[in-house]
Structure 1
Amino acid sequence: MAGPSSSSHQVLLQARSISFAYKHNQPTFQNVSFDIRKGEMFSLLGPNGAGKSTLLNCLSGVDHPYEGTVLLNNKPISRLSPREVATMLAYVPQHISTTYAFSVREYLAFGAAPRLGVFTSPGKKVYELVDTVVERLGLQPLIKRRISELSGGECQRVAIGRAIVQQPSIILFDEPTSALDYGNQLRVLRCMRQLLSDGFTIVMTTHNPNHPLLLGGRVGLLNKQGQLTVGNAQDVLTEQVLSELYDARLHMVRIETLRRDCCLPDNL
């Protein structure tokens, strides 16, 4: 299940001096610039209300900045059709609509729609890919159930599966583990690591600094003033920076048995 092949240094997604504000409100963020390269992991961290999800919406074309430009494969995303965007980029929101009574297997297969003809139904190859995704995400117990019957956490896992079936170059995840129990959080993070190995590019918002510490790559820290700081996870995620970002006393602790650092709070 490999992503499209291309140079690992290719820039797929760019934010060029973008600023966003909801109507009659102060800007959520201003003059934000960064790029996302082929095959990389990019995590967006920040406190509640900082604008992480809004920034992700701008990257996906759901929201539109009042200044600046978002480029997808060197083209302004605002000038691309939804189908053109969907062949390159998949977006997994925090919540999905469960109005229709599709089975989980049908819902997953719909992820292939951008690459099919208007009147073409998913065929054997699509359902083979669906079955692979089901196994990878541990969705076997859900496969015959209706989307409308699932819990919030189950819906989130299925939405991730549908994005994989879509086979884009980039997958945007908005807090993908927020509604999951600990075991399923780990399963999703392992899936992300495998997707990176397969050549996909991942952008994720998260509240947990340990996620980018586990996954590596680059990090964007968005503070409440709408300022974004970008750098490698190992360099940017320091005790001082994280404590200031979350207004809490946090510690970076080396766990020798795991051979990695963890972010831990003071005692309660």
Structure 2
Amino acid sequence: MSIEVSNLSFSYGDRLILDDINFTARDNQLLSVLGPNGVGKSTLFHCILGLLNGYKGQVKLNNINSKGLSIKEMANLVAYIPQSHYPSFNFSVFDMVLMGTTNQVFHISSPGQKQIKLVKTALERLGIIHLKDRGYTQLSGGERQLVLMARALVQEAKILILDEPTANLDFGNQIRVLTQIKSLVKEGYTIIQSTHNPDQTFLFSDMVMAMKDGKILAYGTPNEIFTENLIKNLYGVEVEIQSLYGDKARVCIPKIIIKN
């Protein structure tokens, strides 16, 4: 599976949000999109998913133009985890995850044993099987994010788009989720995530795309593009980057802390 974005531009009225975006994400690859708030990361994802159709340029999913795909065809290719989700009803965790299998059954059919097994496997994989009977609206923000991750897995789409998947998670669950994401990449998934964490981006990503003012500022492997100048350009803060374990990891330390 692959995502190929070519000459993509999008505007809200007269305000240009995305300006000539070009990149390719391939299977067995985690692409992290890094950039400040309001840079267009979520808008980019919505264009890829067909939730926004008024863009210029082209989006191909596994070499298929996304504009020609039906909702079910899109669901068979791509699963999406939004930043936040607030359902109208207090569905159980099990039922919330089971909803991710709707692309696998006919409109007048009910989920079968295959779908039920998929749900149990996903909940166990993410360590939340104990929550299966809990009401979704009664969960913490971090627990909800794990449930949405499970729902994406049961969809059995080989492309995952994750909008800040660790934003509401404590440190332990952040590492668990990112480890699961890397595991899925090794199984052949194509995954794009947006993030605000440079340290985790360097540690887990295969490719990084840095965005600012609706444009791609840098694109490449973490080793190629992670510099102190890049972080300053993106976020407006001076940092010192320290390498750890023979440059297998890098840590951004704000210089204001070092001076104090």
TM tier, smaller: over 0.9
User: 2:3 is matched with which residue?
Assistant: 13
Residues 1:240 and 1:85: Cα distance change in structure 2 (over 3 Å): same
Indicate conservation of the 8 Å contact 1:18/1:65, yes or no.
no
Where does 1:84-233 land on structure 2 (aligned, <5 Å)?
84-224=73-213, 226-233=215-222
Distance (whole Å) between structure 2 residues aligned to residue 117 and residue 92 of structure 1: 23
Residue from 56, 71, 96 that aligns with 1:67: 56
- Contact 1:47-1:246 at 8 Å conserved across structures: yes
Percent of matched pairs sharing the same residue: 35
The CA distance in 2 between the partners of 1:49 and 1:216, in whole Å, is 22
**2:80 matched to 1:80?**
no
* SS of equivalent to 2:167: coil
Within 2, Cα distance between the matches of 1:52 and 1:120? 36
User: Gaps spanning 5+ residues in structure 1: where?
Assistant: 1-9
Q: AA paired with 1:60?
A: L
SS in 2 for 1:27: strand
Distance 2:85 2:214 in 1: 29
* Corresponding position: 1:261 with 2:242: no
What's 1:38 paired with?
Answer: 27
Provide the aligned C-alpha RMSD in A.
1.7
CA distances 1:14-35 after superposition (whole Å, capped 9, x unpaired): 1110101112x32012111111
Q: For residues 190 and 36 of structure 1, do their structure 2 counterparts lie closer, same or farther at Cα, with a shift above 3 Å needed?
A: same
CA apart distance, 1:228: 4.3
Equivalent residue for 1:6? Answer: none
Q: Tell me the distance in 1 between the aligned counterparts of 2:50 and 2:102.
A: 18
**What secondary structure does 1:70 align onto?**
strand
| CA apart distance, 1:225 | 5.1
Amino acid aligned to 2:80: Y
Structure 1 residues 13 and 258: alpha-carbon distance in aligned structure 2, compared to 1, 3 A threshold = closer
Note if contact 1:42-1:202 (Cα within 8 Å) is conserved in structure 2: yes
* TM-score, structure 2 as length reference: 0.93
Distance 1:225 1:99, change over 3 A: closer
Q: How does 1:46-61 map to 2 (within 5 A)?
A: 46-61=35-50
Show structure 2 runs of 5+ residues with no match: none
Letter in 2 for 1:162: R
Distance 1:220 1:256 in 2: 24
The number of aligned residues is 257
Distance of aligned partners of 1:259 and 1:36 in 2 relative to their CA distance in 1, 3 Å threshold: closer
Cα contact 1:91–1:172 (8 A) shared by 2: yes
Structure 1 CA distance, aligned partners of 2:227 and 2:246?
21
d(CA) in 2 for partners of 1:225 and 1:145?
Answer: 40
In the superposition, the TM-score normalised over structure 1's length comes to 0.90
Read off the aligned partner of 1:158 and give its amino acid letter.
V
